[in-house]
Amino acid sequence: MTHLFTTFAATGSAHAVVKTFNDAGLLFPRRHRKGPRKGELDWAPLAHSAVLRILHNPRYAGVFCFGRHRDRADGDGTYIRQIKPREEWISFIPGAHPGYITVDEFEANQTRLAECAAAHGTDRRKGPPREGPALLQGIIICGRCGNRMTVRYHVRRGLELPDYVCQRSKVEHADQICQALPGASLDAAIGQLMIDTLTPLAVEAALTVAAELEQRAGYAGQLRAAAVERARYHADLTRRRYLAVDPANRLVADTLEADWNTALRALNDAKDAYDKAQNAAAANLAETQKTRIRTLVTDFPAIWNDPATPAAGTQAHDPPAPHRRHRHQERENDHLHMRWQGGQDRTITLPVPKTAWELRQTAPHVVEAIDQLLDHHTHAEIAAILNARGHTSGEGRPFHPLIVRNIRDEYGLRSRQQRLRDAGMLTLDEMAGQLGVSAGTVKTWRHAGLVSGQCYNDKGQALYHPPGPNPPAPHHGLPRLSDRRPAQTSDTHEPTRRGAV
Bridge-based pairing of strands 345-351 and 27-31 is: unpaired
10 SS3 class: helix
Spatial distance between the Cα atoms of 2 and 15, rounded to a whole number of angstroms: 17
Spatial distance between the Cα atoms of 233 and 329, rounded to a whole number of angstroms: 69
Query: Distances in Å between the alpha carbon of 203 and those of 191, 210, 301, 311?
Result: 19, 11, 13, 22
Q: Pick the closest to residue 4 from 66, 57, 41 (CA basis).
A: 57
pLDDT, position 207: 62
Query: Which amino acid, one-letter code, is at 60?
Result: Y
pLDDT digits (tens, 9 = 90+) for 298-349: 666 666 666 665 554 555 444 333 333 444 444 466 777 777 666 677 787 7
Query: Of 213-217, 265-269, 289-293, 338-342, which has the strongest mean pLDDT?
Result: 265-269
* Sequence-distant (≥ 6) Cβ neighbours of residue 180 within 8 angstroms: 163, 164, 165, 166
Least confident of 84-88, 197-201, 418-422: 197-201
3-state per-residue secondary structure call for 380-392 = HHHHHHHHHHCCC
Do the Cβ atoms of 314 and 304 come closer than 8 Å? yes
Do the Cβ atoms of 119 and 127 come closer than 8 Å? yes
Domains and CATH numbers, the chain: 1-62+97-128 (no CATH), 129-353 (no CATH), 365-408 (no CATH), 422-484 (1.10.1660)
> What one-character DSSP code corresponds to residue 305?
H
Spatial distance between the Cα atoms of 454 and 127, rounded to a whole number of angstroms: 70
* pLDDT for residue 77 is more than 80: no
Q: Pick the closest to residue 373 from 421, 405, 395 (CA basis).
A: 405
Spatial distance between the Cα atoms of 409 and 422, rounded to a whole number of angstroms: 18
pLDDT, position 203: 59
> What one-character DSSP code corresponds to residue 284?
I
End-to-end CA separation in angstroms for the chain: 119
What is the reported pTM? Answer: 0.44
Spatial distance between the Cα atoms of 416 and 207, rounded to a whole number of angstroms: 68
Do the Cβ atoms of 228 and 274 come closer than 8 Å? yes
Query: Which amino acid, one-letter code, is at 461?
Result: Q
More confident residue, 121 or 433: 433
pLDDT digits (tens, 9 = 90+) for 345-381: 778 777 777 776 777 788 889 999 999 999 999 999 9
Spatial distance between the Cα atoms of 206 and 194, rounded to a whole number of angstroms: 16
Do the Cβ atoms of 467 and 434 come closer than 8 Å? yes
**Residue 492: φ, ψ to 5°:** -110, -15
Mean confidence (pLDDT) of the chain: 78
Do the Cβ atoms of 394 and 361 come closer than 8 Å? yes
